[in-house]
Structure 1
Amino acid sequence: MTLEIAFIGYGEVGQLFARQLAAKPGVRVTVYDIVFDDPNRGPALRQRALEDKVYAAASTAEACKAAETVISAVTADSAVTAARQAAPHLQPQQTYIDLNSVSPATKREVADQVRQGGSSFIEFAVMAPVGGVGIEVPILSGGRTAEAVSARLNELGMKITPVSPEIGTASATKLCRSIVIKGLEALMVDFTLASEKAGVMPAVLASLNASYPGMDWESVAKIMVSRVQQHGTRRAAEMREASRMIAEMGLDGSLANAIAERHESFAKPKSGPEAD
């Protein structure tokens, strides 16, 4: 039997996962991305799909049509829109998985959309960078059918751990972790800019290494600054979801919002001191 998997969203994560899953025996992968409809950028992305040996669908409807499992891999701020567009084309025998970094409330909103036609919904929370490891990245899952679906995907080489039949536990775990990781990345941006400008980088690194000898602070700073510069816009959307989650708990989400703003501002093209 052939396992039909569709990806809605064919960006960094969608491309990596789709390519690796398509290489598995008995797996057929279909992808759709709104960029396909762009006359300027669409042809190149469709060519990428051809090279990855996945089928580039003409629409969300076509992507969902034959898939047993539909995986949403869009940006955080597009998760609900993607689900709304997919919902009319989902059947009870299908499973819709949202792996986007969004708040528990957003995951539940996505679930409400896709369950209208009777399909199952599972949340995924990706717990580490996907670069390099791809489908072997640790993932938490949640939902009534999370155990069965996770077990089947794990047979393909994925590393999914079901954590709850309820929607929200996996995503809350992810976003609480992100407050620390994305917050530290934002700190490393300002630390690097300020210490280099002041000419005190070596002294500060020496002090940090003495206080926290388990960390290679010079490497951490380089890696994290590079990540923010490359992925800051997407990570800003994730941190706004974290802020939303914190606010829904009755807590102060302003720090998460500030982290989002720093990621977003540093990722934009620079013309001032940050461009040095």
Structure 2
Amino acid sequence: MPQPRIAFVGFGEAARCFASHLAAQTDAPMVAFCQGKTNAPPYSAAFRAMAASCGVMLVDRLEDLSDADVIFSAVVVAVAAETGEAISRIIRPGSLVVDINAATPRTKKQVAAAVEARGGLFADANLMGSVDLYGAAVPLYTSGSGAARFAETFGPLGFRIEVAGADAGTAAAVKMLRSVVTKGMEALLVEALTAATLAGVRDETMRGLCASMDATTFSKFLDMCVRSDVLHAERRAVEMDGVAAGLRELGFDPVMTTATAARLKVSARLGLREEFLERSGYSADEVLDRYAHVVSGASAGLEDRP
């Protein structure tokens, strides 16, 4: 099987990582086009040299990628949609577009439709980790019409690709919701530990957090959070309002603490506490199903208002 001709639109950290790995695995020709704030034609000598060290030749026009078999879209989220549509206008039928941008499910579906209208295949590929940590072996959760082909072509080259189905946007939705947790945890931890530093109790706070989190698995912790939220959200919201006041006394703006209190109040207002108190037992799935049912009903009511 001939080596695919590979191109990149955007050549940031992830694209450079993938290109360097591919250069070591295959002699497939690779080119890249950039039109960003930092790197754009005419490219600097330093940027050209960096690309060459990754086995990539830079081109001056997007149209110069039209003979590529596989095009990776690796740009900033703000231009992901317009870049994807621009790529769709230059591809050949049968080409594969791999979108690794952290774009929304709607954007991924929009780009997929444009690519498929021109006879191409689309892979909604999402990095489920950092290339700093995993390198080119970063897990890629992928869906779309081209997901299977992406896995078949790049899996043997060392890429870790999990196919989530043939619908673009499915994988992006999982990535988006995972980010709610991972980035939210980062923000919560940074807020708590910065405040702990101001209060002079950072080491003690770190020990307390790590001891409780290390004592169980994350899956058990998640299950406990959801099942207890339906019963205790109102009380916990009051507690967090008090915590926010305490942080302000330290001269600290409790952004995430305030948001936590607001989120708990939303759960309390769903009015499901008594229903679950009467149950002899229930699962986290049952809580989430009821939350979703009540929330969707409330949303429908708002849409029906004149």
Please give the range of the TM-score, normalised by the shorter of the 2 chains: 0.7 to 0.9
In structure 2, C-alpha distance between the alignment counterparts of 1:207 and 1:73, rounded to whole Å: 40
Residue equivalent to 2:92:
91
Quick one: which amino acid aligns to residue 204 of structure 1? Answer: T
Residue equivalent to 2:140:
139
Q: 1:37 aligns with which of 16, 35, 40?
A: 40
Residue equivalent to 1:172:
173
Deviation string, structure 1 residues 183-214 (Cα, Å, up to 9, x no partner): 01111221232111221101211221232225
Residue equivalent to 1:187:
188
Question: Quick one: structure 1 residues 81 and 43, their matched pair in 2 at CA, closer, same or farther if it must change by over 3 Å?
Answer: farther
Residue equivalent to 2:214:
213
Q: Runs (4+) of structure 1 moved beyond 6 Å?
A: 249-252
Q: 2:49 aligns with which of 24, 47, 52?
A: 47
Quick one: which amino acid aligns to residue 48 of structure 1? Answer: M
Residue equivalent to 1:16:
17
Alignment map for 1:54-203 (pairs within 5 Å): 54-62=56-64, 64-203=65-204
Identity score, percent: 29
Question: Quick one: structure 1 residues 26 and 50, their matched pair in 2 at CA, closer, same or farther if it must change by over 3 Å?
Answer: closer
Question: Quick one: structure 1 residues 251 and 114, their matched pair in 2 at CA, closer, same or farther if it must change by over 3 Å?
Answer: farther
Deviation at 1:147, TM superposition (A): 1.4
Segments of 5+ residues of structure 2 without an aligned counterpart are 217-294, 299-306
Question: Quick one: structure 1 residues 160 and 205, their matched pair in 2 at CA, closer, same or farther if it must change by over 3 Å?
Answer: same
Question: Quick one: structure 1 residues 171 and 27, their matched pair in 2 at CA, closer, same or farther if it must change by over 3 Å?
Answer: same
> For the aligned residues, what is the CA RMSD?
2.4
Deviation at 1:164, TM superposition (A): 0.6
- The alignment's TM-score, normalised by the length of structure 2, stands at 0.66
Segments of 5+ residues of structure 1 without an aligned counterpart are 216-248, 253-276
Question: Quick one: structure 1 residues 112 and 193, their matched pair in 2 at CA, closer, same or farther if it must change by over 3 Å?
Answer: same
Alignment map for 1:232-243 (pairs within 5 Å): none
Structure with the greater relative contact order (CA < 8 A, sep ≥ 6): 1 or 2?
1
Would the aligned equivalents of 1:3 and 1:26 in 2 still touch at CA under 8 Å? Answer: no
Deviation at 1:130, TM superposition (A): 1.3
Quick one: which amino acid aligns to residue 116 of structure 1? Answer: A
